[in-house]
Structures are given as structure tokens and as C-alpha cells.
A and B are shown apart, each in its own frame.
Chain A
Amino acid sequence: MRQSCMEKVYELAQKDKRVLFIGSDLGIGTLQKFKEEMPERFLMEGISEANIIGMAAGLAMEGKVPYINTIATFLTRRCFEQIVVDLCLHKLNVRLLGSGGGLVYAPLGPTHEAIEDMAILRAIPHMTIVAPADAEEMKRLMDKSLDHQGPIYIRIAKGGDPVVTDDQMPFEIGKVFPMRAGKDALVITTGITLKHALDAAGQLHEEGIEAAVLHVPTLKPLDQKTILGHIASVPVVVTIEEHTLMGGLGSAVAEMIAEANFSPSKRFKRIGIPDVFPDQYGSQETLMNYYGINAAKIISIIKESHGEKAGTFHTASSQNKT
């Protein structure tokens, strides 16, 4: 996914002179062709992320469209105030390409795991947050990123993730994508957990339970009206995200459901990372399984609720280790 993203930055820069690339201290050879062909618009600025965001703001104030890439935690944690004041307050066309969104850097530990990146940014006015599900969707997003007004955070997953999106569905920033229909439950997902949601829905179908899947790549601005429309037609709603349970997709959907006052009320459960710093290494996959961010967890929640009467929705906490 990162490779597709970087290739798109190169393509965009070729066709539009407003586009610049800014890296911090990325791997040797990053965008080598870009550097050779458009050296004045290829900037590798060192391990100075706060300055990079401010500098990009200055360039964007003058009409440039800087695409900044570094590890997601360095962008969202270290540069929070620069993102708020320099980018969002001025509503500037800067693109933040956050590598390793979620648990990708599991072997490197908590300093590198971007598990609250979307929660942090969701609180800032004018920010747009997009988490594509696969490399093909990343390409479609990047094409739309050029002329979008205001800053965008683009969450880059590990790479090599299976392609599960449909290129027949035209991508728009802010749009949600119904990936599968179903009357018994709805799984709402963002980023790479779309695959887990689709796997779960497929297995549930085998057992006679029809679960719909709604892919929400744009976490902000959130298409609340459409999402609520999908929620209205099912009794059970489950969210899944490779992100802390505090402030991400699950929180956003919970807020919507709480204020919608559905009658009868919806049974609702969030799947994500509990309020902890990961205490294991391993791989993205092992950590996701450790926190129950997988198809099995979706299936168990939906099956349990499917067999119960309204008001007695008890499931194992998504914070339990599986």
C-alpha cells in the first residue's frame, strides 16, 4: 500500500507542479526517480517533524500541495500542535501520509504503533481522515487527494494486504461503501479490517446469518446520514478497527447511535484495541488476534446476539484477549 501511495505521489507531481514530496529521514532510495527528475520538489528534511509540518504549511499558503511521509506516530503524536495550528486552523492543502497505521510496527513496540492516530486527529476541525482498505483503494484515494480542500491524513497500512475493494465503486473522499447486504447485523469497518468483516460475513452466511458490511474509509468527515440509514435496517451493529476503542470509528458510531434514539434500541459492540499500550511484540497479525481484531470475534459477537432476545446482549468484552 505504501508503494502504491508513493508511486501516486510521483505521478501527481509529474502532472501538477504544485505537488511536492517531503520526507523526514526515510529509507535510502525512497522515490529515487522523483528526486532525479524533479529535485526542486523532492525534500528530505531530516528528523525534524515539527519544522516539516510548519514548512509545509508555509509552502501550502503559497499554493503548493505538499505530500509528507513519515511514520504515523511521528506525525500525529509529535506534531499534534503543528497539525492543529499550522495546518487545520489555516485549512491548508497538506497531505499527511502516515506509514504504519495501527499495529503494523508491532515488532518495534509502542513508540511506533499508531493506535490512536485517528482519535487524535478526529478532534481537529477541518481535518480529513482516510484509511484505505488496500493498495487499489489507496490509488483511487490519491487521485482524489490532489484537489481536496484542506488537510488530509492518509493512513497507510502494512502493504501486501489482499485487495478486497471494488474498482467499480468510484472512490470519493467522505463516501461510505456498502460491500455486502444483510438483514441480521451490520459490520462497520475502516481500513484493512474490511477483509476481516467480509470474511466474517461470508462464514456467517454459511450458518444462515446475513451480516451486511459497510466500509468507511473516510472517518472524518463522517457520512453520518448514510451510516445511520444502514444501521436503521438491522438489529445488531458491530464496529471493527485496528485502533484504540477510544475515539475512533467505534466511538463515532456509538455517538451516532446514542443520539439517534432507535426504537427498539440497537445491540452494539465495538472491536478494537483496549486502553492499553501493547505489551507484546510479534507481528501485526499476532497483535490483532491478541486483541480480538479478527473475523472470529465478529462472528462470535453476532452469533451470540443473534440468538438472544433484545436487551440481553452479553458478549465477551472486546478487551479480552483471544
Chain B
Amino acid sequence: MNTKTIVDKPMGLDPKSKDLRRMIVRVLELCGRGHVGAAFSLIEILRVLYDDVLKYDAKNPKWPLRDRCILSKGHGCLALYAVLADKGFFPEAEMWQFCKPAGLLGGHPEHKVPGVEASTGSLGHGLPIGVGMALNAKIDKAPYRTFVIVGDGECNEGSVWEAAMAASKHQLSNLTVIVDYNKHQSYSTTKEVLDLEPFVQKWQAFGFSVLEADGHDIAGLRKAFCAPCLDPDKPTVVIGHTVKGKGISFVENNLKWHHKNKLNKEELDAMLKELE
């Protein structure tokens, strides 16, 4: 049996999760745009990785022994930028230049940004790249792990499943795929657009050990990401059950907030109020 479910009791957002979200709201205020729903869906996954799981050196982002982490669903980049800024990969002031002409940070992550392993944005690219990185570690007997965060809508792409087959073929137990499974994509629910279910069984059939977790529960995610390798011959996928726009009642599961620009003061104030 290679399926293990780790779902703890869902919890409210803790102060740090609220801080990171407030940083993103400030970006929306100062810079006027962003993929809000995707970013808020991802925050706990990313903060747990960078708080408790990944080995890295923010002052030496290319440290050879670092763990590799690719945000394949690049449109969730505001969450990644907030976490990288929090960890000191670049000054927080860069956040306030988001998408501005001379800013470091754009609407999708680019490898020129300290801490960003690969430029992503077009979906379905991150997992093949992560497979290459993990395969390199296997060939060189290097100790680093590779994590790739994909979106649920992104799993519509055939290249994700090509890469999944390759990861399985090469027995990449040093590779962990994390799916931000908020059950929504741009147009509608994943069920309506292109149903992924039975999702656990799909990953199993492609040769993965499968874990499930509440994608906003810090302790549960920590347990899932730090879990000892379930099978030394298999890559792992952690399916994080998340809520698109998590943390703001009128944003949650509201597809009008998939990407938002020109937010008015009332909307911004209402968001901040819910994050108090």
C-alpha cells in the first residue's frame, strides 16, 4: 500500500499566515494587480517548505547542496515572493515594485530572482524540469531533494503526466510533487472544466506514493513534507486540499478573484479587516 492520508483537523490562520497575506494585500494596493486566489491558496504550502523543510541559504541562493523548489504554477508567484522576501532572499521593498517597469518581480517568477529555480508561467513546464534536477541528483549521488508545486488546473497538461511517468521510471524517491488542489481553475471548478478525479488513483497508477493533507494546516503539511520516504523506489506526491483565496471570505472560491486588478479602497480595507 503506497497511499497514506495525513489530514489533521483544519485550523484558522495563525499570525504568520496573516502577515504574509497582508504583505500581498499591500502589493495589490501599491501595484494594482495580482493572482490573488492562487497566491492565498498556496501560502501555507510555501511557508511550511521554507520554514521547516527545505535546506537553503538565502544569502547564497545557488548553494549547490540546497533543496530545489520549483513553483510550476507560476501565477501563484505573489505567495512565493512574500515567503522569499520574508526569508531574506531579496529586500521586502522589491515587493512594492511588483510588475513595475524597473521592478525585480514580475507577474510570473523568473530565474533572475534570487531563490527562483526556474522561470515558469506557462503551465506544465515545472515538473519535467524538476524530474531533470532529481535525476541529476540520482546520477551524481547528490543529497538534495527536489520539490515541484503544481496547480490542479495545471494537471490538465499532458506534459505533467509525461513527467510523472519519467519520475516513476527513474524511481526518483528524491522528488516530491505538491499539488495545490483547490478544485478551481480560471473558468470554473476543475470538475466542470476537466475533471481530475479519481486523482489519488491517477497518481498511484503513474507510480507515485500518495499523501493527502489539509493544504492550510501547518502541522499536517509539515508532517507530510517531512515524512520519511514512503517507498525508496517511488517519487511522492502530496495532494494539498486547499481553498482558492483562503483567508478572505469574499475571495474564497470566488473565481472573480482568480486575477484581480484595480482594487478599490473598500475591497482592500475589507481584506485587511479579515486579516486582523
The yes or no answer to B271 lying at the interface (CB within 8 A) is no
The yes or no answer to A162 lying at the interface (CB within 8 A) is no
Interface size, chain B (Cβ < 8 Å): 28
Stretch in contact with the other chain, from A55-63, A151-159, A178-186, A293-301: A55-63
Chain B residues with CB under 8 Å of A89's CB are 111, 119
Q: Encode A26-61 as 1/0 by CB contact (under 8 A) with B.
A: 000000000000001100011010111111111111
A56 to B128, CA, bound (A): 8
A56 to B162, CA, bound (A): 14
Known: A48-B166, A54-B132, A58-B136. A85 touches B122 (CB 8 A): yes
Name A's interface SS: helix
User: A293 → chain B, closest Cβ, in Å?
Assistant: 36
Known: A50-B159, A90-B111. A58 touches B135 (CB 8 A): yes
Interface contact A48-B136, CB-CB below 8 Å: no
The yes or no answer to B71 lying at the interface (CB within 8 A) is no
Chain A residues with CB under 8 Å of B135's CB are 55, 58-59
User: A70 → chain B, closest Cβ, in Å?
Assistant: 14
Interface contact A86-B131, CB-CB below 8 Å: no
A90 to B109, CA, bound (A): 12
A56 to B133, CA, bound (A): 9
Which chain A residues in 48-98 approach chain B with CB under 8 Å? 48, 50-64, 81-82, 85-86, 89-90
Which chain B residues in 113-165 approach chain A with CB under 8 Å? 117-119, 121-122, 124-125, 127-137, 139-140, 158-159, 162-163, 165
Chain B residues with CB under 8 Å of A59's CB are 132-133, 135-136
User: B268 → chain A, closest Cβ, in Å?
Assistant: 33
A184 to B65, CA, bound (A): 62
Interface contact B128-A57, CB-CB below 8 Å: yes
Chain A residues with CB under 8 Å of B140's CB are 62
A90 to B135, CA, bound (A): 19
User: A288 → chain B, closest Cβ, in Å?
Assistant: 35
User: B103 → chain A, closest Cβ, in Å?
Assistant: 18
User: A274 → chain B, closest Cβ, in Å?
Assistant: 32
Interface contact B129-A40, CB-CB below 8 Å: no
Chain A residues with CB under 8 Å of B124's CB are 50
Interface contact A61-B128, CB-CB below 8 Å: no
Chain B residues with CB under 8 Å of A55's CB are 128-129, 131-132, 135, 163, 166
User: A59 → chain B, closest Cβ, in Å?
Assistant: 4
Q: Residue of B at shortest CB range from A64?
A: B136
Partner of A54, one of B119, B121, B131, B137: B131
Interface contact A57-B132, CB-CB below 8 Å: yes
- The residue among B127, B131, B137 with the most chain A CB atoms within 10 A of its own CB is B131
Interface contact B122-A62, CB-CB below 8 Å: no
Q: Residue of B at shortest CB range from A90?
A: B111
Interface contact B122-A81, CB-CB below 8 Å: yes
Which chain A residues in 73-132 approach chain B with CB under 8 Å? 81-82, 85-86, 89-90
User: A68 → chain B, closest Cβ, in Å?
Assistant: 12
User: B192 → chain A, closest Cβ, in Å?
Assistant: 26
Partner of A51, one of B117, B128, B137: B128
Q: Residue of A at shortest CB range from B111?
A: A90
A81 to B162, CA, bound (A): 15
Partner of A85, one of B117, B119, B134, B136: B119
A188 to B121, CA, bound (A): 40
A40 to B111, CA, bound (A): 28
A40 to B122, CA, bound (A): 30
A48 to B127, CA, bound (A): 13
Chain A residues with CB under 8 Å of B127's CB are 54
Chain A residues with CB under 8 Å of B125's CB are 54, 81-82, 85-86
Interface contact A50-B136, CB-CB below 8 Å: no
Q: Residue of B at shortest CB range from A55?
A: B132
A45 to B135, CA, bound (A): 12
Q: Residue of A at shortest CB range from B120?
A: A85
Chain A residues with CB under 8 Å of B159's CB are 50-51, 54, 82
Chain A residues with CB under 8 Å of B162's CB are 46, 48, 50-51
Chain A residues with CB under 8 Å of B122's CB are 81, 85
A41 to B166, CA, bound (A): 15
Known: A54-B125, A54-B128. A61 touches B166 (CB 8 A): no
Partner of A86, one of B128, B133, B169: B128
A59 to B158, CA, bound (A): 21
Interface contact A58-B129, CB-CB below 8 Å: yes
Q: Residue of A at shortest CB range from B124?
A: A50
Binding site for A on B (CB under 8 A): 111, 117-119, 121-122, 124-125, 127-137, 139-140, 158-159, 162-163, 165-166, 169
- Other A-B contacts than A58-B118, A62-B136, 20 sampled, CB-CB below 8 A, are A45-B169, A48-B166, A50-B124, A50-B158, A51-B165, A54-B129, A54-B163, A55-B131, A57-B118, A58-B131, A59-B135, A61-B129, A61-B132, A61-B133, A62-B132, A81-B122, A82-B159, A85-B121, A89-B111, A90-B119
27 A-B pairs (CB sep. < 8 Å): A41-B139, A46-B162, A50-B128, A51-B159, A51-B165, A52-B128, A53-B128, A55-B131, A55-B135, A57-B118, A57-B128, A57-B129, A58-B133, A58-B135, A59-B133, A59-B135, A61-B117, A61-B129, A62-B136, A62-B137, A64-B136, A81-B122, A85-B122, A86-B118, A89-B111, A89-B119, A90-B111
Binding site for B on A (CB under 8 A): 40-41, 45-46, 48, 50-64, 81-82, 85-86, 89-90
5 closest pairs, A vs B, by CB?
A58-B132, A54-B128, A51-B162, A48-B162, A62-B136
